[in-house]
Amino acid sequence: MSLTAQDTMKLTKQILSAARKRLLQMHYESGVGHIGGNLSCLDAMMLIFHEYLGSEDRFILSKGHSAGALYIALWSRKHLSEEALCTFHKDNTLLAGHPPALAIKDILFATGSLGHGLSLAAGTALAQQLKGQNGKVFCLTSDAEWQEGSTWEALIFACHHSLSNLTILVDHNNLQGFGCTSDVASMSPLAEKISGFDLSIQSINGHDLVAIRQALNAPAHKCRMIILETIKGHGVSFMENRMEWHYLPINQEQFLQAVKEIDAQ
């Protein structure tokens, strides 16, 4: 499907840098964590929202604890206001720590109880096919969600129905709430575990916009999976590959240092 100028805009380094800083500011001002996993998936999410989501397409964030990155992507496309971001994680907000249900039109489902986002995405993709619609469905999962049985059941469903309009993205940052994914319940190498399914699969650098574009531009004749090899806390030196940034809020000194680093990149 060709996108109109109103549907999409080119993602630039300047837009992405502004998004990273606004994400950090939002989390700093609200005093909440989950920053590391937001930074690992922000590059791919921003690219999809800026260049690949048309009016008929749908994005489902299965790793709901990265809601901050989703809100920033919507803000960068002017689908959320600056005033709305200032309410993040506060009383009576629509911008909860996990994506809300029926509050923001761009967010189809409440997610964050990990492991059910792909089922919702597969059902949405099948519904589009049954209705003869041309839209695509993008679903972003965490790597730890592939320790969940429901995720594998959804993959079986997607492959059985040949959902060529479904793209599954995996934020493969190798860390989860209790440590390294390889230590908690290893599924590595994930691509090999999934290779027996009837889908297109490739692993790429999840921070390389050119590589992500090439993967998304490739013809899709069946369900597609793109494993994004990412760095938790990407772009902020003291957060990178540190499990504690799955949880920790950021203080003023850390916030100022992080912004300085992003500006220098």
Q: Which residue has 């029926």 as its token pair?
A: 102
pLDDT at residue 198 is higher than 60: yes
Tokens of 19: 């998004």
The span from the CA of 139 to the CA of 159, in Å, is 15
pLDDT of residue 5: 45
User: Mean pLDDT, to the nearest integer, of 230-241?
Assistant: 96
pLDDT of residue 173: 87
The span from the CA of 86 to the CA of 156, in Å, is 40
Q: Sketch the domain layout of the chain as residue ranges.
A: 13-264
pLDDT in tens, 38-71: 999 999 999 999 999 999 999 999 999 999 999 9
pLDDT in tens, 144-190: 889 889 999 999 999 999 999 999 999 998 876 776 767 666 777 88
The span from the CA of 161 to the CA of 138, in Å, is 16
- Could you tell me how many helices (H) and strands (E) the chain has, helices first? 10, 7
pLDDT in tens, 82-135: 999 999 999 999 999 999 988 899 999 999 878 899 999 999 999 999 999 999
With beta carbons less than 8 A apart as the criterion, state whether 27 and 68 touch. Answer: yes
DSSP-based helix, strand, coil % in the chain, nearest 5: 45, 10, 45
Q: Is 136 buried (19+), middle (13-18) or exposed (0-12) by CB count in 10 A?
A: buried
* Cβ density class 22-51: b for 16+ within 10 Å, e for less: bbbbbbbebebbbbbbbbbbbbbbbbbbbb
Overall fold of domain 13-264: Rossmann fold (3.40.50)
pLDDT of residue 220: 87
The span from the CA of 127 to the CA of 136, in Å, is 11
